[in-house]
Amino acid sequence: MKVLVTGASRGIGRAIALAFGARGAGVALAVREPSGPAVLELLASIPGARAVPVDLSDSAQTQTLIERAREALGGLDVLVNCAGIVHYEALADLSPESLLQQLTANFVAPTFIARDAALHMQAHGGGAIVNVASTLGVRPAPLTAAYAASKAALISMTRSLALEFGAAGVRVNAVAPGIIDTDMIRAERPNTAGAAALSVEEQLAGLRKLHVLGRLGTAEEIAQSVLYLVDAQFVTGTVLIADGGLLL
Ligand SMILES: NC(=O)c1ccc[n+]([C@@H]2O[C@H](COP(=O)([O-])OP(=O)(O)OC[C@H]3O[C@@H](n4cnc5c(N)ncnc54)[C@H](OP(=O)(O)O)[C@@H]3O)[C@@H](O)[C@H]2O)c1
């Protein structure tokens, strides 16, 4: 199995790359800095893994990603669109630049990468695509309006791709994680109106309580969900909620 993972330098994408590597898959890591220490360490941990450089904010790089990954891997069976960004900000403070940055990284770039992968898979007997969305794409929360909209759009695009490429044996699904303990959730957030300032640890304690399971998820648990969606041969166009009961 030949697998491309975006956002593989750290967090959830890194765990997904390691999970496929543990299965003996050929893994290409789509990363901004292929010679950064974290990527070099990951390359050393996954036999035969390759790094393919990409900055999702640069459409020229995004447009050639699938072609470069196919060359690096000698084919492509699975794409996991995991890279993403969030800016914690009130809608009142949202700038056009911030909205466009989040839409580009979380929706526009993954859409064209998935489209190009689906076209390749269509011509080569099928494949599987998993987009990493978010529960915020299903139900919004304060300070993440642009991010939530970008993930809702990604979920809609997941379904459209599944519809248009299913007959060719290309399955397209999304996973919607709850709050996962990575760098992404440790960024400082502005206060909601009238609220006292919270430390990052206080924020995390509050976030844990939002989950029925009483804890945050781990990157490895989201990797399990991705592997399930790649394995489940009769599942397409679905959104797997992996949220420890957050939406409940
Ligand atoms: N953590 C959560 O609670 C949570 C919940 C729901 C969904 N998600 C989604 O899960 C995915 C992974 O999140 P995470 O928690 O692992 O976040 P993270 O630790 O902040 O990692 C983000 C990844 O995206 C990459 N990336 C960001 N902008 C990029 C760009 N312009 N070009 C190329 N790569 C870029 C980063 O690369 P660099 O190392 O180069 O910055 C990094 O590998 C995201 O799509 C996120 O929206 C996360």
Q: Measured from the CB, is residue 183 less than 6 Å from ligand 1?
A: yes
Is the sign of the CA dihedral 224, 226, 227, 232 positive or negative? Answer: positive
154 ligand 1 Cβ < 6 A: no
Distance, in Å, from the CA atom of 36 to the CA atom of 190, rounded to the nearest integer, reads 30
Catalytically annotated residue among 20, 107, 147, 165:
147
At residue 183 the predicted structure's pLDDT band, cuts being 50, 70 and 90, is very high
Q: Check if 56 has its Cβ closer than 6 Å to any atom of ligand 1.
A: yes
Eight-state DSSP code of residue 217: B
pLDDT-derived band of residue 78, with 50, 70 and 90 as boundaries? very high
How many whole angstroms from 82 Cα to the centroid of ligand 1? 7
Give the nearest ligand 1 atom to 106 CA: 45
Which protein residue has the closest C-alpha to ligand 1 atom 1?
A: 180
- pLDDT (mean) for 201-205: 90
Q: Is the distance from the beta carbon of residue 177 to the nearest atom of ligand 1 less than 6 Å? A: yes
Length of the chain: 248
Rounded average pLDDT over 235-240:
98
Q: Is the pLDDT confidence value at 193 over 80?
A: no
Give the pLDDT confidence of 43-77 residue by residue, as tens digits. 999 999 999 999 999 999 999 999 999 999 999 99
Q: Give CA separation, 157 vs 26, 56, 72, 137, in Å.
A: 27, 17, 27, 12
Residue-level pLDDT at 199 = 85
Per the annotation, the verdict on 147 as an active-site residue is yes
| Nearest atom of ligand 1 to the alpha carbon of 7 | 43
Q: Which amino acid is residue 31, in one-letter code?
A: V
In 7-121, the DSSP E strands lie at: 26-31, 50-53, 78-81
Residue 206 makes CB contacts below 8 A (sequence gap 6+) with: 198
- Whether the per-residue pLDDT at 24 is higher than 90: the answer is yes
SS3 content of the chain, % helix, strand, coil (to 5): 50, 15, 35
What is the Cα 140 distance to its own chain's centre?
18
Percent of the chain with pLDDT over 90: 93
CA gap 173, 235 in Å, rounded? 8
DSSP state of 211: S
